[in-house]
């Protein structure tokens, strides 16, 4: 019986694996030409500066509604796009669209400090990536020091001359760098000194647990101390409640991002949020909206 159960388990497992592969193949197929068919869109989420001395920043997040598969989360399709090489062109589109929108908002008099764009490890390794970023800023007359690239730890652990040159170009031009999902990479922290990083983003998984688990709260506190000791700013992502915010503020966190202030919004709604923020006495928590 045990043998049979084992065999069944194996069958279930292989079915799962098969379904996963099938789904990835479907996504890969659907991604082909998705740019040309204009299936991508950006949504925007504010990062709120807690001492109120600076206007909020904005992170651009990619959305894809595939005609065949329906809405597909970036957590699912970005890894596929990385594997099939499509991320290069998609990533370039994201940078271009984010800078275009940011420049248009500034031209319309909306106040925000910087626009943050997620960049995959594969883009960073591409030849000429830094020059491409600067060229996109120039095209839209967007100041490079108002552009922040969010990188994951995995993008930073592999040191190379090419990567160094890339970061040199960013530093010379004032492009800002943030480490996204900080604390989830289990990497050594050497890269924090080697590369011109200005900001750490505490991963949402820590924020979720910090109120219920003293150990996790110590981790977030340690990240804030570490960031500040290295002259960096520290952001918490995925902040949903006043209680979470209060603890992060006590810990010295510089910026708060999460549903507490706003969900990711389509560009129109983001513009309205910025306008309200500028007219009122700074951004306050908002009722959760439907948009994502």
Residue 120 in the binding site for ligand C2E (CB under 6 A): yes
Residue 229 in the binding site for ligand C2E (CB under 6 A): no
In angstroms, give the least distance from the CB of 235 to Mg ion. 9
Residue 94 in the binding site for ligand C2E (CB under 6 A): yes
**Nearest residue to 220 via CA among 205, 240, 230:** 205
φ, ψ for residue 83, nearest 5 deg: -65, -40
Burial code of 73-96, b = ≥16 C-beta within 10 A, e = fewer? ebeebbebbbeeebbbebbbbbbb
CA–CA separation, 44 vs 251, rounded Å? Answer: 26
Cα angle: 164, vertex 182, 152; to 5 degrees: 45
Residues 19 to 38 in contact with ligand C2E, rule: CB under 6 A: none
Residue 86 in the binding site for ligand C2E (CB under 6 A): no
Return the number of the residue (9 or 73) whose C-beta is nearest Mg ion: 73
Cα angle: 76, vertex 79, 80; to 5 degrees: 85
CA–CA separation, 255 vs 240, rounded Å? Answer: 14
Which one of residues 75, 214, 229, 287 is an interface residue with ligand C2E (CB under 6 A)? 75
Per-residue contact string for residues 243-272; x = within reach of ligand C2E by CB under 6 A:
---------------xx----x--------
In angstroms, give the least distance from the CB of 122 to ligand C2E. 9
φ, ψ for residue 81, nearest 5 deg: -60, -30
Per-residue contact string for residues 136-175; x = within reach of ligand C2E by CB under 6 A:
--------------x-------------------------
Q: Which residue is nearest to ligand C2E (CB)?
A: 258
Residue 179 in the binding site for ligand C2E (CB under 6 A): no
């Amino acid at each position: 019986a045990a043998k049979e159960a084992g065999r069944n388990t194996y069958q279930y497992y292989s079915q799962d694996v098969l379904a996963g592969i099938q789904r990835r193949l479907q996504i890969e197929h659907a991604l082909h030409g998705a740019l040309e068919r204009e299936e991508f869109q950006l949504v925007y989420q504010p990062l709120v500066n807690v001492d109120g001395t600076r206007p909020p920043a904005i992170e651009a997040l990619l959305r894809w509604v595939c005609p065949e598969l329906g809405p597909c989360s970036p957590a699912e399709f970005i890894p596929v796009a990385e594997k099939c090489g499509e991320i290069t062109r998609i990533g370039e589109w994201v940078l271009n669209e984010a800078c275009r929108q940011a420049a248009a908002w500034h031209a319309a008099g909306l106040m925000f400090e910087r626009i943050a764009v997620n960049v995959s490890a594969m883009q960073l390794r591409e030849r000429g990536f830094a020059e491409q970023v600067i060229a996109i800023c120039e095209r839209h007359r967007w100041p490079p020091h108002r552009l922040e690239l969010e990188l994951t730890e995995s993008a930073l652990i592999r040191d190379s001359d090419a990567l160094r040159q890339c970061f040199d170009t960013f530093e010379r031009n004032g492009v800002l760098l943030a480490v996204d999902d900080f604390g989830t990479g289990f990497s050594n922290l050497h890269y924090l000194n080697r590369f011109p990083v200005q900001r750490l983003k505490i991963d949402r998984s820590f924020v979720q647990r910090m109120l219920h688990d003293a150990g996790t709260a110590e981790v977030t506190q340690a990240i804030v101390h570490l960031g500040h000791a290295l002259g960096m700013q520290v952001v918490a992502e995925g902040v949903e409640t006043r209680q979470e915010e209060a603890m992060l503020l006590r810990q010295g966190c510089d910026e708060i991002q999460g549903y507490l202030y706003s969900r990711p919004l389509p560009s129109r709604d983001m513009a309205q949020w910025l306008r309200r923020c500028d007219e009122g006495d700074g951004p306050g928590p908002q009722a959760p909206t439907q948009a994502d």
